Structure 1
């Protein structure tokens, strides 16, 4: 239950806990209680500010000079406490460091490199879709959304063959660590001890294949673009950015289409809408629900003063369903213009892996649309609590082949 009390400054106080398990499993039933009190609220549970309306969230993401990432995009303030791992040189860095490291990664994971890989990725998507359609019933998470990225992404990076499944465990823990030190994080850290060690080893130069994105980062270091130590951390950032968001993005798209079967029919009638379907899925149920920023100065938003050095929690998922921005926001509609959604963030810190996630999602969805007359839920969806992601653990579906 929401309780709006007296205000801290001019921000309404709200006692919703956005990291409670029941909130994480069903955030959308709580978002109205975060949006309606005002453009800025004070979360009493953690003594932090928060914004959940589209206009304010997107504006904060774009204003990287006021809303800093370098002090951590989670609850922890790196100016006051030691991070659980060396900070990301992309997600948790501000200019000028961020400009330099981002430029390196954009040259490595470029549209040209993805275009080169696309034929192979399409072929693997089609082969996987053929297998699943023959089965008739499958789990859209364990048989599809976790499988396809692992068929294409590790090879693109140039990762060693043995132990690749550790990527799934590691990425989930990274996103859990952006929240408080709660039971969910403790469980995740315990499960990820071996995975974290594998990732640390996989990012080393001697374990990467020639011709992959990982080795390309080290080659940039050889040319003086960054240090060898920075190269290792950049490869690590690529591993967390390119897996879990894609896995959950694919699963969410399939889930949306089972919940709105008329949209599947529309997609079958016009497969060119695949790109729109993926974008609407990113808006309708954002995989990344929240990120933090820290203010570099006093800033007033909607009449509420946020003091310098304040932690601010930005609710991307709530912004993407803000009725002030979107018509019928809870409806999944692939004809909807989604330009400007913040499913991958906005501004200079937009998700590094967004091009990868979009391409993988579009390829596997296209393969299914070409082969399936219908796709329906074969059982209830089961969620996995994560401090940052709205994750799907299980989604049984039934498909009928195209005639």
Structure 2
């Protein structure tokens, strides 16, 4: 330890608060400052080492042996603090606990299942766009499209009933806030923690789910012995927690991108097969999931900086996705770019297992819009919703010109 300390690089120190409201709403200035400061920056306010460059973020994401998720992917260290809910078996677990749940979900969300959903989701998207345009050309793109489509399509696929779906986004907002510090955003959710948790947990039980959805398939895997019956509801909960908010804010990022880059909208209309790539580029450009933490399992060096065992690192996914050393003209939304390799869905063992589901949702909605809408433009200032982890939206006022 002494020899390692003698060789270690002393990182620059910052007292910036990445969870301040103004930073959560407009993170790019801090991201740039952190990238320019060095490969590792010590954030004194939270006693964590921060990574904002693509190279270091990517390396930490794929190195689960040295940077574990099992101690929590938020600021809280589960080695010393009790989690506010049972940890996610996918997001907050490492091998071997992580293996069976991921293997089961990988099989359930495999291409054959998504192919069966494709036609149904394209029909849902067409109906939604038709109904929307029948009511006028000015609307809030966030609530009318980015929220409305996933809240119908994805819970249907999981097997949820129609009642109570309005609880999904508040629950997700609460869960993603909990990955940050215990600030005012966490306090604002406190009065609903019990209520929302009870509702979500109830939806994860076998009896609450239809017989033909992802949820029933998870319970069937438990019946086969691929999971335990105690694990099954936690895996369903992981789908409901991670599969709604991130897609909603990713679709909102798409709408914002096309409203502010009209030439790219025309490119998509001419080549609708670019819909999935457009979603990935929007995820890179806006990074709906901005940050995640990991915990060092041992003393480990990053770019010469010693990260002591049992301490947290904070990975700025949004900053990595705009690192000019990785991306040409990174602040531009560009459909000619190959966005593969972005870390908006994570990377490595814990990479988002539902990313192909989100891409299919985006393909359905963007294809339906491209067929019916010639132009999308902002009619007012979009508003963000501060969240400790998400680059979230509150409203996106738009006007569309139908074909």
In 2: Cα distance, 1:334 partner to 1:299 partner:
38
Cα deviation for residue 196 of structure 1 reads 2.0
The alignment status of 1:272 with 2:273, answered yes or no, reads: yes
The alignment status of 1:46 with 2:46, answered yes or no, reads: yes
In 1: Cα distance, 2:334 partner to 2:147 partner:
25
Say whether the 8 Å CA contact 1:140–1:254 is kept in structure 2: yes
In 2: Cα distance, 1:146 partner to 1:195 partner:
19
In 2: Cα distance, 1:355 partner to 1:274 partner:
13
**Corresponding residue of 1:100:** 100
**Corresponding residue of 2:147:** 146
In 2: Cα distance, 1:351 partner to 1:144 partner:
23
**Corresponding residue of 1:27:** 27
In 1: Cα distance, 2:112 partner to 2:290 partner:
30
- Runs of 5+ unmatched residues, structure 1: 1-7
- CA displacement 1:276-332 (0-9 Å, x = unmatched): 211110110100000000011211121211111110000000000001111111011
**Corresponding residue of 1:307:** 308
Worse-matched range after superposition: 128-137 or 306-315: 128-137
In 2: Cα distance, 1:387 partner to 1:233 partner:
23
**Corresponding residue of 1:194:** 195
**Corresponding residue of 1:89:** 89
The alignment status of 1:342 with 2:343, answered yes or no, reads: yes
The 3-state SS of whatever aligns with 2:161 is coil
**Corresponding residue of 2:218:** 217
Cα deviation for residue 192 of structure 1 reads 4.8
Change in CA separation of 1:214 and 1:67 when aligned onto 2, cut-off 3 Å: same
Cα deviation for residue 275 of structure 1 reads 2.1
The 3-state SS of whatever aligns with 2:91 is coil
**Corresponding residue of 1:176:** 177
In 1: Cα distance, 2:85 partner to 2:265 partner:
42
In 1: Cα distance, 2:159 partner to 2:247 partner:
18
- Runs of 5+ unmatched residues, structure 2: 1-7
The alignment status of 1:238 with 2:203, answered yes or no, reads: no
Please list, as runs of the form range in 1=range in 2, the aligned pairs for 1:2-401 lying within 5 A after superposition: 10-134=10-134, 135-401=136-402
The 3-state SS of whatever aligns with 1:94 is coil
- CA displacement 1:238-278 (0-9 Å, x = unmatched): 10111000100000110011111121122222222222211
- CA displacement 1:28-68 (0-9 Å, x = unmatched): 12111111111011001101111000011011101111110
The 3-state SS of whatever aligns with 2:37 is coil
Cα deviation for residue 106 of structure 1 reads 1.0
Cα deviation for residue 190 of structure 1 reads 2.5
In 2: Cα distance, 1:192 partner to 1:266 partner:
44
Cα deviation for residue 333 of structure 1 reads 0.6
Displaced runs of 4 or more, over 4 A: none
In 2: Cα distance, 1:110 partner to 1:270 partner:
26
In 2: Cα distance, 1:65 partner to 1:57 partner:
15
In 2: Cα distance, 1:109 partner to 1:223 partner:
18
Cα deviation for residue 370 of structure 1 reads 0.9
Normalised by the length of structure 2, the TM-score is: 0.96
The 3-state SS of whatever aligns with 1:194 is helix
The 3-state SS of whatever aligns with 2:61 is helix
Say whether the 8 Å CA contact 1:69–1:92 is kept in structure 2: yes
In 2: Cα distance, 1:240 partner to 1:352 partner:
13
Q: How much is the aligned-residue C-alpha RMSD, in angstroms? A: 1.2
Cα deviation for residue 182 of structure 1 reads 0.5
In 2: Cα distance, 1:194 partner to 1:115 partner:
36
Aligned residue pair count: 395
Normalised by the length of structure 1, the TM-score is: 0.96
